[in-house]
Amino acid sequence: MASRGAGTGGATEPSEPSGSSRSARGGMDGRTGSTSTWLGAPLQQVPTPALTLDQATMRRNAERMRERCQALGLRLRPHVKTHKTLEGAELATGGTRRGIVVSTLAEARFFAAGGFDDILYAYPLPGGRLEECAALAQRLEAFQLLLDSPQALALLRQHPLPLGKRWLVWLKLDCGNGRAGVRPTDPGAMALARAIAEEAPEEVTLVGVYAHCGNTYGCRDVQAVQAIARDTTSAVLDFVTALRQAGVPCPQASIGSTPSCSHPVPEMAQLTEVHPGNYLLYDLQQTLLGSCLPEEVAIRVLTRVVGHYPHRNQLLVDCGWAALSLHGHDQSPAGCAAIEGHPELRLVGLTQEHGQVGAVDGQLDFGRYPLGSILALIPFHACATAAMHPVYYVHAEGKVVELWRPIRGW
């Protein structure tokens, strides 16, 4: 893993004596259109803090998830909210540019403009933004929505699409995650599904049912993750069976989360599709859950040492929470990030633009971490960390080969 970030001995020495912390090459900081300057550059020269992605690792992660789904006869509908990039979605869909999940309307518009279709907006229907949803529904062959209330259905009925178009709707089920969705055991769930399917078939179509098993993130091992995946699958399939027995057509059944889809259970083969997202990058959290091996984590945040403070036995680095997020600070022994190749170090503090690094035990050997040298951080949560960066440096064989620019906003 050393090729992705800092070495395993001391911190990586800067390639240029002046370093590149927040300024470099002609005064550019890597956060404007000038980022093209860094194509072909050695990874150690990029301005820090920098989010880097290992190209080969991402490709392997994408291929493995496709293979898992193919083995079960499932369609893979990748969620793109982790990276929010055209390039990442192209990789995750195997180049088809069809069948993705988004979390924001900004993402939906971005991917539609980038040539993607069959987009599922997996968020409760935003009543104040129906015009935006309607524009996407008219523009795309298949723009799909989630509903979990009769009120949301009524909103769609009040805003029918032009002749020849229908609202494509998934019923969101809450099978234990405790966020959005109707519980499949609630009497109103069956009535809502029937209403979506039958009230106005010329205006609204029931595509299927959708459940997110985000409660897998509270697990401690793969067996616990698989138990939740099995329970969620069973709840969804029981609901679909009851619908069909009641004469309500329900073509699709989907569940997902990266932990549940990284070690799928055989019962999931009875579904029609799954919708994991984080798996393209993975992160420290996923390794702790057993979703992946450490070498399958593609994301790093590179940071430079900017200060030595022997009186408190700490290094100062140029990565604060604004480049990492605070997610995980109280959820893992390493906190918000692990320091690759340096088990003797740990993050002990983060402010907006500064990180404090201390020793796990004993005194730091400051000579191993010269000013300007690079440390590679493995974030606890890739989704939260990626949201902090306007550009991702994709690398292969130690050099920057692509620059990915994510969509931002809602």
Are 375 and 303 within 8 A, CB to CB? yes
* One pLDDT digit (tens) per residue for the chain, 410 residues: 333 444 334 576 544 433 444 433 333 344 444 668 899 999 999 999 999 999 999 999 999 999 999 999 999 999 999 999 999 999 999 999 999 999 999 999 999 999 999 999 999 998 899 999 999 999 999 999 999 999 999 999 999 999 889 999 999 999 999 999 999 999 999 999 999 999 999 999 999 999 999 999 999 999 999 999 999 999 999 999 999 999 999 999 999 999 999 999 999 999 999 999 999 999 999 999 999 999 999 999 999 999 999 999 999 999 999 999 999 998 888 999 999 999 999 999 999 999 999 999 999 999 999 999 999 999 999 999 999 999 999 999 999 999 999 999 99
What region does 128 belong to: left with phi over 0, alpha with psi -120 to 50, or beta? Answer: alpha
CB neighbours of residue 394 within 10 Å: 21
- Token pair, residue 259, equals 């932990």
Phi and psi at 222, nearest 5°, equal -65, -35
Q: What separation in angstroms does the CA of 386 have from each of 5, 106, 158, 321, 335?
A: 17, 16, 38, 12, 17
- Residue 36 confidence (pLDDT): 80
Q: CA-CA distances (angstroms) from residue 384 to 188, 282, 321, 371?
A: 35, 12, 10, 28
Q: How far apart are CA 231 and CA 176, in angstroms?
A: 9
Instruction: Look up tokens 């540019």; give the residue.
Output: 97
With tokens 């070690």, the residue in question is 263
Is 112 exposed, middle or buried (CB count within 10 Å of its CB: 0-12, 13-18, 19+)?
middle
Asked if residue 355 lies in contact with residue 347, where contact means CB atoms within 8 angstroms, the answer is yes
> What is the b/e burial string over 31-51, where b = at least 16 CB atoms within 10 angstroms of the residue's CB?
eeeebebbeebebbbbbbbbb
Q: Cβ distance 110 to 97 under 8 Å?
A: no
Residues 218 and 233: their CA atoms lie apart, in Å, by 18
pLDDT at 12 (0 to 100): 67
pLDDT of residue 31: 44
Amino acid at 259: P
CA distance 264 to 262: 6
Instruction: Tally Cβ neighbours within 10 Å of residue 109.
Output: 18
Asked if residues 148 and 171 have their Cβ atoms less than 8 Å apart, the reply is: yes
Q: Which of 173, 169, 250 is nearest to 210 (CA)?
A: 173
What pLDDT score does 224 carry? 98
Instruction: Evaluate the CA torsion angle 165, 170, 171, 172 in order and state its sign.
Output: negative
Which segments of 39-114 does DSSP mark as H helices, in order? Answer: 55-72, 86-92, 105-113
The closest of 346, 330, 331, 344 to 378, measured between CA atoms, is 346
Q: Any bridge partners for residue 54, and if so which? A: 395
Residue 108 has a pLDDT of 98
Residue whose C-alpha is closest to residue 254's, from 303, 301, 212: 212
Contact by Cβ (8 Å): 272, 74:
yes
- What is the Cα 261 distance to its own chain's centre? 13
pLDDT score of 4: 41
End-to-end CA distance of the chain: 35
- Please give the Cα distance from 327 to 26 (Å, whole number): 34
> How much is the pLDDT for 13?
56
Q: Tell me the one-letter amino acid at 160.
A: P
